[in-house]
Structure 1
């Protein structure tokens, strides 16, 4: 169910079967501590959405591998960041073209925390322009309560922590370095702060949390939860209708 391998003659039928829905995975390319590859975020978005597309029959658009990673600074090599306005524009234009291909339900699945604000802006712009298009932004770490609990188990401002490390050990071992997992975990230093500080001012090595606790079996279980719970959300969204069929553009009749 990957959009990129379907033809123009096949996609209309695919979309009709999927209630005219499509999935757009959005990740990032950024440092993930000394032990995880810089593609962590887009790799998990790709793998997760690919599995969900198979389960739900909803076509998956090509994954965006870059995101708004400005907060990771230039302290560690590897981060390739987009400005927020760039991400907004890219996602808005992808949504426009998806609309003209027949998509009326767009699930934006985000695997990088600070993409959330630009993606919300893109959502606002898309639904304001396309009255009959529904758009959702779903963050992979908070798909459900059990998924959220696992991600936040060792830090509130987590990054390359136990959950992310376990996911990569289980699902993408080629970008995980077991021998480089820090033996001294880096604590969350953001509790009680007023300002949102960049990672260079909150972490010694790009990690926040306890990757030393990561276990392959935990990663397998967490990924299975993510697939199951995201599939359920998308199946529900395939059938959702607005509470009121009132046009965005038509004024109230006096």
Structure 2
């Protein structure tokens, strides 16, 4: 009978127990999940770093979804913010510089790709960064998962940083996330005897999406050898989820380390 009473008491507590974890959840890192009041209060309580992450909507061969860079950007941005502990993330900007729309160069040869002219891309980067500064963030970190736009982000960050220093704020282009991670992954592949250039939609990109796990983002029956006609530059047939985790960890580690080094040098 005592066990029965204990069971009844426990069942009576279950609604409260079920609600407790939700109530105890920390505030999300994504700005678009928050109200303006919550953003204001988060900044006041120490969440003073803003992450602005550019993805890209572009062809990734016949085997991988156009949103590849955006999927990677969202995962990495969240991981970086959580590792830093004092950051909020603006919505991923899903467009980058991918070629000329009129001349149909680079990725613009393939259906579904979106491009921004360099001046438009720079304008978007500048405007979002200025918005973050206006909100009260003290460090604005610009980063991207696509090659097109890296130089533009660097120039925007340099110009805004020079202007914002006098107000006690800084702006940084986190270039290590992209360039350094690719170099590290190529070195890892070379140690494993793979010396092919994994430039686009190859091992690294395909592995990353395999790790992220959405089956509808990869068409395994459409994985083909690289050619100019299909948009693949690399060997996606060698991709694995394990390699994808290593590659994404490189991106995240490099970004966190660069931001922390920048902060240390700014003190």
What are the equivalent positions in structure 2 for 1:126-137 lying under 5 Å apart? 126-131=160-165, 132-137=168-173
The answer to whether structure 1 residue 178 and structure 2 residue 220 are counterparts is yes
Task: Give how far 1:238 is off.
Answer: 4.2
Choose between structure 1 and 2 for higher RCO, CA contacts under 8 A separated by at least 6 residues.
Answer: 1
Q: Of residues 101, 116, 120 in structure 1, which corresponds to 2:150?
A: 116
In structure 2, how many angstroms separate the alpha carbons of the residues matched to 1:155 and 1:60?
Answer: 35
- Measured on the aligned residues, the alpha-carbon RMSD in Å equals 2.5
Match of 1:213 in 2: 238
The answer to whether structure 1 residue 69 and structure 2 residue 98 are counterparts is yes
**Does the C-alpha gap of structure 1 residues 223 and 157 become closer, same or farther in structure 2, counting only changes over 3 Å?**
closer
Q: Of residues 170, 178, 185 in structure 2, which corresponds to 1:141?
A: 178
Match of 1:98 in 2: 132
Q: Which runs of 5+ in 1 are unaligned?
A: 187-202, 243-254
In structure 2, how many angstroms separate the alpha carbons of the residues matched to 1:157 and 1:9?
Answer: 45
What are the equivalent positions in structure 2 for 1:48-63 lying under 5 Å apart? 48-57=76-85, 58-63=87-92
Q: Indicate if the aligned counterparts of 1:141 and 1:147 stay in contact, CA closer than 8 A.
A: no
Q: Which has the higher helix share?
A: 2
Return structure 1 stretches of 4+ with deviation > 4 angstroms.
16-19, 150-157
Match of 2:199 in 1: 158
Task: Using the TM superposition, name which of 141-150 and 99-108 deviates more.
Answer: 141-150
Match of 2:62 in 1: 34
Larger Rg: 2
Match of 2:116 in 1: 82
Match of 1:223 in 2: 248
* TM-score for the superposition, normalised by structure 2: 0.75
What are the equivalent positions in structure 2 for 1:12-31 lying under 5 Å apart? 12-18=40-46, 20-31=48-59
In structure 1, how many angstroms separate the alpha carbons of the residues matched to 2:119 and 2:258?
Answer: 28
Cα deviation per residue 1:151-206 (whole Å; 9 max; x = unaligned)? 89655570101110011111143311111111x234xxxxxxxxxxxxxxxx2311
In structure 2, how many angstroms separate the alpha carbons of the residues matched to 1:223 and 1:32?
Answer: 17
Name the count of aligned residue pairs.
225
